[in-house]
Amino acid sequence: MSLWGGRFTEDLDPFFKQFNDSLPFDYQLVEQDIVGSKAWATAICEAGVISEAELTDLKAALDELLNEVRSGQKKITDDTDEDIHSWVERNLIEKVGQLGKKLHTGRSRNDQVSTDLRLWCKTTGEMLQDNLKDIQQTLITIANDHTDTIMPGYTHLQRAQPISFGHWCMAYVEMFSRDLSRLRDALYRLNFSPLGSGALAGTAYPINRESLAQNLGFNAPTLNSLDAVSDRDFVFELISAASLSMIHLSRMAEDCIFYNTQEAAFLSFGDAVTTGSSLMPQKKNPDGWELVRGKTGRVLGALNNIAFLLKSLPLAYNKDMQEDKPCLFDALTTWQNCLVMANQCLINIKVNKDNMYKAVLKGFCNATELADYLVSKGMPFRDAHDVVGEAVRFCIEQNCTLEALSIEQYQQFSDLIADDLYPWLDPLNAINQRNVTGGTAVNQVRNAVDFWQTQITQADKVVIRDARMTDVNEIHDIVAVWTEAGDTLPRTKDSIIHDIQDFVVAEDLSNPDEPKIIGCASLYIYQTGLAEIRSVGITPKAQGKRIGQRLISRILRHAQAIRLNKVIVLTRVPEFFGKQGFVPTAKESLPEKVLKDCEACPRKDNCDEFAMELNIGKYAVGFTEVPLDMKTGTIRTAFVES
């Protein structure tokens, strides 16, 4: 269907139509377009364009269309409409006839697409904030375990001074905090509604744009219609934020790839995030990190793309702007995937403390401490620098470390050196000498861990994380509540202990002295590769706070990262999982589940559970979370092809 054409008498050239159509990529805005259309229907009803009865019919038809989209009944990309706006309008007209043609009164595709795109950016941005906080939390957890794990710090890729591995982790926490700040700033600036700006000059109908903006969850309406329909600053800003964050991810990937080499052997990563060689059986390759590093160029390319696209465009709308969406969608989806992948690699990290420590000693990383020792004895630093250089050269010739030299050997370089030198050369003492704000001293790293943990938990008092053995009792208690209610199968403590690595939990940190687990969920993988979400439970007092959606989202991100094809669930609350993108399926199609649990279930012959599935194998490249309700911020997970 075309939204224009009265002026034209000839059909489009087939190649031009294909060249002109944007449905193959802007279909991703379908839910935003329907949400925006519902809000516009309300606005034109308040303006007297349609009646209350017509508004009711339009909203019912749009809701029906939305449900069809979410359930997969509508295959958008199979159609030949010009764009997602014409697709929605055609389907609406099929449902309500001529009434559907009234919806576009006073509205242009120019303000419509800008609105849709901002709504998509808002909800994708919310998910990206969660991703950034996830990776920060993982790094903070690792840092807390390694505040005194000594490793060499590098400059010019040469061993320089000893630092703690926790200090290295916290450096990236700082970087991602700036990424989070830039993302939030960009989201604030885009949170203004262009709807009602028309093609470029505003609308001739008495639309209450303030109410319309509020209805869509925006801060306020835009104040200049000409700018509103042509503004793509927010696209540039988001891709710019993604680009800089990807640079940070790429730097971390490069560090981890280097630390993972046999030459360094500081870090290794689990089988879940590494691959082997088709020829060399001994190989274990850090492909997750290498792909993160490689995909950085893809996002940086998108930044160049949008910059060249917007350069020299006259006001107001130009068809060039149609090309903003492929680079935006790809850049943010790639960013999100890389954040998930990097976090998964960090979760699977193994730290070789011994190799790190040996590298510190072999690399003369404590040479500066020797110079500081001489300064403490009254020697000018420049002279001390020369003395230490001579000592290091001597050690290289003798193939030994600074610690191995005797006092007699040291005194050939300076008679100021005495028996009190050796404590200065101890690497742990060396890092603790850097006891200034931001330094690598153990207590300074702990301060940084505490500070950033507080920053994250102040913004979000509930953290979604992988379960630990210390959580077993609380997980068991939560599962028991819903077992008694008849909503989930019972789990013994032994079974939870055995499967603890399959669980994620929601931890309430509102009282830092008494953190408590308020939700849990697990992902069970059958031998066939089918995966099932099980043991989902939220404490009664914590319900209604989007914790369930966040738990499921975390599990689905993990399922995507390890390339699962399908995730299933048997549930008595199908509407909840429907909001997460699951669709009904036949229980008979799940033989693994039937054999594993159903035969032993006391309700086997009178089962009231619904079987649902989410096929993610086809969509393993990327996904975003989109809102069901812009006012409440209720979230579902919708997978979209890149």
Task: Tell me the residue length of the chain.
Answer: 642
Q: Residue 612 in contact with residue 585, Cβ under 8 Å?
A: yes
Active-site residue (options: 156, 278, 312, 406): 156
| 2, 51, 71, 277: the active-site residue | 277
| Joined tokens for residue 202 | 């505003």
Cα 595 from Cα 544, distance rounded (Å): 34
Contact 538, 477 (CB under 8 A): no
Gap between the Cα atoms of 427 and 361, Å rounded? 8
Helix 324-347 to helix 233-260 angle (10° resolution) is 30
For Cα atoms 405, 419, 442, give the angle at the middle one, nearest 5 degrees: 85
Place of tokens 């120019």: 110
Phi/psi for 568 (5° steps) reads -120, 165
Contact criterion met (CB below 8 Å) for 576 and 548: yes
- In the residue annotation, 476 being an active-site residue is answered as no
Opening angle at CA 42, ends 41 and 46, nearest 5: 115
592, with CB counted inside 10 A (0-12, 13-18, 19+), is middle
- Token digits for 12? 């489009």
Beta-strand pair 531-538/566-571 = parallel
Residue 219 phi/psi, 5-degree rounding, is -65, -40
Q: Are strands 150-155 and 192-193 parallel, antiparallel or unpaired?
A: unpaired
Report the C-alpha gap between 123 and 627 in whole angstroms. 7
Task: Write down the H helix ranges in 348-439.
Answer: 353-362, 367-376, 381-398, 407-410, 422-425, 427-433
> d(Cα 535, Cα 578) in Å, to the nearest integer?
17
Mention every residue, 6+ apart, whose C-beta is less than 8 A from residue 564: 525, 529, 531, 616, 617
277 catalytic residue (yes or no)? yes
Nearest CA-CA partner of 456 in 164, 137, 233: 137
Half-sphere exposure of 280 (CA within 13 A, CB side): 5
List CB contacts of 281: < 8 A, sequence separation 6 or more.
none
Question: Tokens in use for 429?
Answer: 């003492």
Closest CA to 536 of 572, 566, 585, 565: 572
Cα–Cα distance between 165 and 534 in angstroms, integer? 36
- Indicate if the alpha-carbon torsion angle 449, 345, 330, 64 is positive or negative: negative
CA distance 570 to 484: 17
Provide the token pair at 434: 């850097």
Active site residues: 156, 277
